[in-house]
Amino acid sequence: MELVGGTGGPGAEWVAALNAQLDRMRISLAAGPPFPVVGLAEPALTPAVLAEYQQCDDEWEFLGLTFGDQLSAAGPLVSVVTTAPGVDLAPLAEMLAAERDRLWALAQVDEPDPVDGTDQDGLLLVDGRRTPARIRREGGTWAARARLDAGTVVTVVGRGVGLGEVRLAAVDSFAPFLDGREAELERLRAAHHFTSPEELELPPARGLEAHEALVRLCLRETEEIQAAGAERRRPRPSRRRNGGEYTRAWEAATRAQMRYAGQERHEANAAVTAMVNQAVSLAGKAPWWTEARLRNLAVYEMARHTAFDSDVPSLPAQEIWHRIWSERSAPSRPGPPEPPRSPVRPERPGSTDAPGPLDPPGPPTPAGPPPGLSPRRVQGASRGMSAADEGAWLSAWQQWVDTQR
């Protein structure tokens, strides 16, 4: 899991990150769309916002515009995503799953997955032309996809709006959609009540239970996301994360670390972050990790070393990791953290994901995911580690394994 981060909330740093993101987007899109993009011409739905986008190696891969009420299960809502030529496309069923995920993330409405859906050929009206499209319907939502003359592909998802009502047209300027994004973020902030992690009422941790519980929670979620990636399907958002379990677990571990190590909050959070990322990296790199006894013992030693700086048997491996982690993470953390991000497509190497249909700056009370941690992006915290460093680190852990068998 890349740079798993600690707890945070919609304070000044968070708002600054959102504003900086908007500024970067305004500059990047000032000259117009990087490829022909279409939006909703009819029916007239507001607000109209730039809701999602993705870049790979500084090249735009898709741009998504959303029109209508994002907090209502009844809609009306239409999202229009234009994808550049040659970019992999998620199946229409996955796009409809993403729409249910969006509704959960923003409005806490948990729509069940449909028992079945129907697929058929049809037409989309784009710039006045009837364009062949593939259509999928699931309950009250539908998705349609058409390939346009420029080689781009448009995918439309509707909720509370009939497909026959939809008319698409070319987009010349993104300024109105960026303005809409800024206003909608303000509306979403006002619609949600936020509780700072420091304000949560939590029982005091006993021993290392908070450290170990957090590691296991992160590992469980990592496994779910990796399984989805292996099956080439889109990971579903964690109800544990949006329900606050993740934040409570991270905050409990941070408080325990502050008490045991005598650290300030930022120091404790950094120590917990390093511990979690080492566990997640081992899960993806070490063959012995599948052995429950060794895995549990490794988690215990990581927690004990983190909390008490104990001279545990795995100390050589721990020291190598902390050297690597400090070298890798220090340059990457200047300035405010980025808001959570939720890509809709399977990612390619080098891609930069962005908020899915307008992720708010944190979900409702009790608290949301830590800034900088994407619930749907798992790449291994050891990514970027040199082969020599990785080999030394894994070798030290293997020597520890050999003494435990």
Say if residue 104 is in the same domain as residue 155. Answer: yes
- Would residue 19 count as lying in a domain? no
Which residues pair with residue 59 across a beta bridge? 56
Among 195, 242, 240, 243, residue whose Cα is nearest residue 213:
240
Strands 167-170, 118-126: pairing kind:
parallel
Say if residue 220 is in the same domain as residue 357. Answer: yes
pTM as predicted: 0.59
- Would residue 129 count as lying in a domain? yes
Say if residue 85 is in the same domain as residue 165. Answer: yes
Say if residue 119 is in the same domain as residue 202. Answer: no
387-404 vs 265-285: helix crossing angle, rounded to 10? 80
The enclosing H or E element of 404 equals helix 387-404
Q: How confident is the model at residue 374 (pLDDT cuts 50, 70, 90)?
A: very low
Say if residue 279 is in the same domain as residue 245. Answer: yes
Strands 118-126, 38-42: pairing kind:
unpaired
Say if residue 202 is in the same domain as residue 138. Answer: no
pLDDT(343) > 60? no
Say if residue 253 is in the same domain as residue 340. Answer: yes
User: Cα separation of 403 and 363, whole Å?
Assistant: 45
Domain boundary among 111, 139, 172: 172
Q: How many domains does the chain have?
A: 2
The dihedral through the CA atoms of 186, 190, 196, 202 has a sign that is negative
- Would residue 336 count as lying in a domain? yes
Say if residue 48 is in the same domain as residue 155. Answer: yes
User: 395: domain range?
Assistant: 197-404
Say if residue 203 is in the same domain as residue 149. Answer: no
User: Cα separation of 375 and 136, whole Å?
Assistant: 27
pLDDT at 277 (0 to 100): 93
- Would residue 110 count as lying in a domain? yes
Say if residue 142 is in the same domain as residue 279. Answer: no
Say if residue 159 is in the same domain as residue 212. Answer: no
pLDDT(115) > 90? no
pLDDT at 10 (0 to 100): 44
Say if residue 116 is in the same domain as residue 239. Answer: no
Tell me, what DSSP letter sits at residue 112?
P
Q: Between 100 and 328, whose confidence is greater?
A: 100
- Would residue 4 count as lying in a domain? no
Q: Are 17 and 42 in contact (CB under 8 A)?
A: no
Q: Where are the beta strands (DSSP E) in 295-390?
A: 351-352
pLDDT tens digit sequence for 144-185: 999 998 899 999 999 999 999 999 999 988 888 888 888 877
Residue where the block lists tokens 């229409």: 92
pLDDT tens digit sequence for 243-259: 578 888 999 999 999 99
User: What is the 3 state secondary structure string of 65-77?
Assistant: EEEECCCCCCCCE
C-alpha dihedral over 67, 70, 73, 79, to 10 degrees? 40
- Would residue 371 count as lying in a domain? yes
Domain boundary among 138, 172, 206: 172
